[in-house]
A and B are shown apart, each in its own frame.
Chain A
Amino acid sequence: MSFVHEMDLLHAGALSLGPAPVRRETAAASPAPSPGLGLSLQGLAKRYGERPVLQALDLRIAPGEFVAIVGRSGCGKSTLLRLLAGLEAPSEGRIEGLAAAQTRFMFQEARLLPWARVLDNVALGLKGPDARERAAAALAQVGLAERGGDWPARLSGGQRQRVALARALVHAPRLLLLDEPLGALDALTRIEMQGLIEGLWQRQGFTALLVTHDVSEAVALADRVLLIEDGRIALDWRVGLPRPRRHDAAFAALEQRLLERVLKTQAADVTSTTPEALAPVAVGALRWAW
C-alpha cells in the first residue's frame, strides 16, 4: 500500500465516473454469478419509541457489491446494519434476500471471547470435524497463523480485529456487515486492514456493507457510497476508480467532493440542490470525521 499522493493523470478521468446518476438496476463489476447475497429493502423504517431513526428506506444491493454507508454519528447508519443482521427488528417495511445463517457481522470492537484462545475464537459456532482446520486456515488468511494458541489479551487492537475478520469469514458468509470495524485502529493499521478486507472480498465474492465515518475509507473500498442523513438515503454515488485504488489525484478529488457533500458545504448532491445544502457549516461540525 503506497502513501505517495502522486499526480496520476491517467486516473484523473475516473472522476467523471464519480458522482454519477443513480444506477440501481446495474449489478456490480463481477460478470460471473456472485456468491454474494442480493438485498432489497422496501419501505424500511425503525423507530425507538417516538423517535424515528430510519424512514421509508428503499434500496437494492446487487450480489457481490461493496457498499459503504457514511453519515454523521447518530444518522441511523449503524441501525441499518443491525436491522440487516437481524440484531433488531424493523418497525415497518421489509428486507428481501436476507439469510441469517449466511450473514456475518463485524463489530466496532473485536468482541473476542477473552477466555478462549485465538483459534477457538475463530472456530466459534463452526460445526463439523474439520472445524479447527478451517479456523486455522482462516487465521492464516489474515496473517495470524502462528498466534492461534495465544489469549486475545496478548494481541494488539489491529490483530484482534484481524481475528474477528477471520472469525467472520471462516463461515464463508454471503453477506458481510462491517460496523466501523477499523474506527479504533491507528492510520497505518487501518490502511493495512482495508487492503486485507478488499483482497478477501475480491477472492470470496461476498456482498459487503461497510458503515464508516471515514470518507477516505469509503472511497478506498466501496463500489458504491451511500450517505444517510436524518434517517434517509441522501446520496447514492458509484465510485468508478479502478482497483487496486491508489491515493492519487482522482482519489483525492472524489474524497474531497464526498466530504464536502457530507458536510453540506457544496451542493454536490444529485438529488437535491436546495438552498440549505449551500448553508455554511458551523466550525464544530467540521470535526465529525476525525
Chain B
Amino acid sequence: MSTPALRRGAATALLPWLLPLAILTLWQASSQLGWLSTRVLPEPWAVAKAAWGLTLSGELWTHLKVSTGRALLGFAIGGGLGLLLGLLTGSLRWAETALDSTLQMLRNIPPLALIPLVILWFGIDETAKLFLVALGVFFPVYLNTFHGIRSVDAQLIEMARSYGLRGWALYRRVILPGATASILVGLRFSLGLMWVLLIVAETLSAQAGIGYMTMNAREFLQTDVVLVGILLYALLGKLADLLARGLERAWLRWHPGYQP
C-alpha cells in the first residue's frame, strides 16, 4: 500500500471520531466558562473521574455484569423463541395458518404497555425484567426469520431438489443460508431494542444494574454518576452493534454486499 493510500485509510478510521471529540471539547469549555451549571450537566472531566472511582471500587463492574447478564438472558430467550417460531411458520404452511395471525396481533402491542400487567404477574424482581426484554426482542427476530425463509430464491430450491437434496440437507444447504441475511437484520434490530427495554425495566425497580445505579445517583443528585450510566448504555449499544456486524461479516462472506 502506498503512503497516500495509507494516509487516506487512517483518515477514514479517524473521521467518525471527529464529531464526538468536538462536542466533548465544547462541553468541557462551556462548563469551565461557567455557562453550564453542574446541576444540569457536570463537566466531562468530572464524569471521567466518577467513572474511574466507580471502576476502582468495583461497583461499576458489578452493575455492568448484572445488566449484561439480564440483557443477554432475555435476548437468548426471546430471540431463540423468535428464531424457532419464524423457522416454523416460514417453512410450514399449516404453522403459518395456525400461528401467524395471532403473532401479528400481539406484535402491535408495545411491550412497555404491558408493564402494569407484568408487575402484577411477576412482581418487580428478575422475571419481570427478563420477560420485558424477551418480549421486545422476539418480534424483530421472528418477523425477519419468517421473511427470510419465505424469500429464499425458489429457483435455487428447485435446482437443489433436482439434484436430489431433500429434508434437512435441503434446509441446511439452501434454505437456512438463504435466510441468513434477513435473520441478521432481525438480530441487529433486536439488539438495539434489548438495551432500551432493559433500561426501562431497570429504572422501574432493581437492586443492582446500571439502571439501578443511575436512579440511585439521581436521589443523591450525583449527575456525574447518572451520566456515567447513560454513556455506558451508549457504549454497550455500540458493542452490540459491533457484534452483529461481526456476525454479518462472518456469515455473509459470500455476499457481494458484505465484501471487505
Contact among A86, A124, A125, A153 for B254, CB-based, below 8 A? A153
Q: When the two chains form their complex, are residues B162 and A113 in contact, meaning their CB atoms are under 8 A apart?
A: no
User: Given A113-B173, A116-B173 in contact, is the A87-B162 Cβ separation under 8 Å?
Assistant: yes
Which of chain A's residues has its CB closest to B165's CB? A125
User: Given A124-B165, A124-B173 in contact, is the A114-B159 Cβ separation under 8 Å?
Assistant: no
Total CB contacts across the A-B interface at under 8 A: 46
Interface residues as binary, A91-108 with B (CB distance below 8 Å gives 1, 0 otherwise): 000000000010011010
Q: When the two chains form their complex, are residues B155 and A109 in contact, meaning their CB atoms are under 8 A apart?
A: yes
Interface residues as binary, B37-79 with A (CB distance below 8 Å gives 1, 0 otherwise): 0000000000000000000000000000000000000000000
Q: Shortest CB–CB separation between residue B108 and chain A, in angstroms?
A: 34
Chain B stretch 130-165: residues in CB contact (< 8 A) with chain A? 155-156, 158-160, 162-165
User: Given A113-B173, A114-B255, A115-B254 in contact, is the A124-B160 Cβ separation under 8 Å?
Assistant: yes
User: Given A151-B254, A153-B254, A153-B256 in contact, is the A113-B156 Cβ separation under 8 Å?
Assistant: yes
Q: Which residues of A contact B192 (CB under 8 A)?
A: none
B interface, by DSSP: helix, strand, loop or mixed? helix
A interface, by DSSP: helix, strand, loop or mixed? loop
User: Given A115-B254, A124-B165, A125-B163 in contact, is the A107-B177 Cβ separation under 8 Å?
Assistant: no
Q: When the two chains form their complex, are residues B159 and A107 in contact, meaning their CB atoms are under 8 A apart?
A: yes
Q: Which residues of A contact B155 (CB under 8 A)?
A: 107, 109, 111
Q: Shortest CB–CB separation between residue A11 and chain B, in angstroms?
A: 39
In the complex, B124 has a CB within 8 A of chain A: no
Q: Which residues of A contact B160 (CB under 8 A)?
A: 113, 124-125
Q: Shortest CB–CB separation between residue A279 and chain B, in angstroms?
A: 38
Contact among B163, B177, B180 for A124, CB-based, below 8 A? B163
B-side interface residues, number (CB < 8 Å): 18
Which of chain B's residues has its CB closest to A125's CB? B163
Distance in angstroms between the alpha carbons of A80 and B192 in the assembled complex: 52
Chain A stretch 24-79: residues in CB contact (< 8 A) with chain B? none
Q: When the two chains form their complex, are residues A113 and B174 in contact, meaning their CB atoms are under 8 A apart?
A: yes
Distance in angstroms between the alpha carbons of A125 and B166 in the assembled complex: 10
Q: When the two chains form their complex, are residues B177 and A101 in contact, meaning their CB atoms are under 8 A apart?
A: no
In the complex, A235 has a CB within 8 A of chain B: no
Distance in angstroms between the alpha carbons of A87 and B163 in the assembled complex: 11
User: Given A111-B156, A111-B159, A114-B255 in contact, is the A125-B164 Cβ separation under 8 Å?
Assistant: yes
Which of chain B's residues has its CB closest to A109's CB? B155
Q: Which residues of A contact B163 (CB under 8 A)?
A: 104, 124-125, 167, 171
User: Given A87-B158, A153-B254 in contact, is the A113-B164 Cβ separation under 8 Å?
Assistant: no
Q: Shortest CB–CB separation between residue B228 and chain A, in angstroms?
A: 43
Distance in angstroms between the alpha carbons of A136 and B227 in the assembled complex: 60
User: Given A113-B177, A115-B177, A151-B254 in contact, is the A101-B164 Cβ separation under 8 Å?
Assistant: yes
Q: Which residues of B contact A105 (CB under 8 A)?
A: 159, 162
Chain A stretch 123-154: residues in CB contact (< 8 A) with chain B? 124-125, 151-153
Interface residues as binary, A191-213 with B (CB distance below 8 Å gives 1, 0 otherwise): 00000000000000000000000
Q: When the two chains form their complex, are residues B254 and A114 in contact, meaning their CB atoms are under 8 A apart?
A: yes
Q: Shortest CB–CB separation between residue A39 and chain B, in angstroms?
A: 17
In the complex, A163 has a CB within 8 A of chain B: no
Q: Shortest CB–CB separation between residue B169 and chain A, in angstroms?
A: 8
Distance in angstroms between the alpha carbons of A23 and B160 in the assembled complex: 37
Q: Which residues of B contact A125 (CB under 8 A)?
A: 160, 163-165
Q: Which residues of B contact A119 (CB under 8 A)?
A: none
Q: Shortest CB–CB separation between residue A280 and chain B, in angstroms?
A: 39
Distance in angstroms between the alpha carbons of A116 and B62 in the assembled complex: 44
Q: When the two chains form their complex, are residues B162 and A85 in contact, meaning their CB atoms are under 8 A apart?
A: yes
Q: Shortest CB–CB separation between residue A184 and chain B, in angstroms?
A: 14
Q: Apart from A115-B177, A115-B178, A124-B165, list 12 A-B contacts with CB within 8 A.
A: A85-B162, A86-B162, A101-B164, A107-B155, A111-B159, A113-B177, A114-B255, A115-B255, A116-B177, A125-B165, A151-B254, A171-B163
Subset of 29 A-B contacts with CB under 8 Å: A85-B162, A104-B162, A104-B163, A105-B159, A105-B162, A107-B155, A111-B155, A111-B156, A111-B159, A113-B160, A113-B174, A113-B177, A114-B254, A115-B180, A115-B254, A115-B255, A116-B173, A116-B177, A116-B254, A124-B165, A124-B173, A125-B160, A125-B164, A151-B253, A152-B254, A153-B254, A153-B255, A153-B256, A171-B163
Binding site for B on A (CB under 8 A): 85-87, 101, 104-105, 107, 109, 111, 113-116, 124-125, 151-153, 167, 171
